Amino acid sequence: MPGKTVGISDWLLPWRRFIEVRAINSPSDFEEALALIDAMGKWDAEQSSRFGVPEVELLEYVYGHTVDTLMEKFRQPGAGFFLARADGIVAGCAGYSKSDDGIAELQKMYVRTEERGQGAAKGLMTACLDGMRDDGYDRVQLETVSFMRGAIALYESFGFKPCDQFREIPASLQPITIFMERKL
């Protein structure tokens, strides 16, 4: 998948910004993705604390990555990781890997707040779904939380539906966690 690029042409975007989504492989790209993931973790911890989720528990469960662990996870066969850039500026990231059950799992989907609603999330989702199909998957799952309404709306617009819990999660996260899936 290295070098694969998806461009969302400016005719889709009334404000005429060009969104480029491409598979990442270099350490510097993974550093940019990690910065996005760290920002997502900080925001997620703030929001989750309102529901009684201890920050340390959330950060350990979801966000304990380094550049090396991201590269190890997303350079595996059957995995892909993408960065979206809006007019050359890093706007978001998303990836997928194989779950323990051999199903594709969408992970680390994040678009910077100021870039939301401008096509980056749709481009990232399209690139991930295309990559999953290319890697031979027939189904994809994801895990999200109830207060991420914009993300849930995006997932639903791509055909994701609620599904049964497919992994164990900390007890503090159970009341707010949503599991979703779709066929490819």
pLDDT of residue 129: 98
Gap between the Cα atoms of 51 and 56, Å rounded: 14
Residue 178 CA to residue 164 CA, distance in Å, equals 9
pLDDT of 2: 44
> pLDDT (tens digit, 9 = 90+) per residue, 24-71?
989 999 999 999 999 999 889 888 899 898 888 888 788 888 999 999
Q: How far is it, in rounded angstroms, from Cα 125 to Cα 130?
A: 8
pLDDT value at position 32? 96
What would the DSSP string read from start to end of 54-69? -HHHHHHHH----HHH
Q: How far apart are the first and last CA of the chain?
A: 18
Can you give the pTM of this predicted structure?
0.88
Instruction: Tell me which long-range contacts 24-33 makes (C-beta under 8 A, separation of at least 24).
Output: 24/74, 24/81, 24/82, 24/83, 24/93, 25/75, 27/67, 27/71, 29/83, 30/67, 30/70, 30/71, 30/74, 30/81, 31/67, 32/83, 32/90, 32/93, 33/70, 33/81, 33/83, 33/93, 33/95, 33/108
User: Which one-letter amino acid corresponds to residue 76?
Assistant: Q
Average pLDDT along the chain, 184 residues, taken 10 residues at a time: 46 62 94 94 89 84 89 96 94 95 95 92 97 97 95 97 94 94 97
The residues that bridge with 179 in the sheet, in sequence order, are: 143
The answer to whether residues 127 and 82 touch, using CB atoms and an 8 Å cutoff, is: yes
Domains annotated for the chain, with CATH where assigned, are 5-137 (3.40.630.30)
Q: What was the pLDDT predicted at 11?
A: 41
Kindly report the average pLDDT of the chain as a whole number: 89
Kindly state the tokens that stand for 158.
């791509």
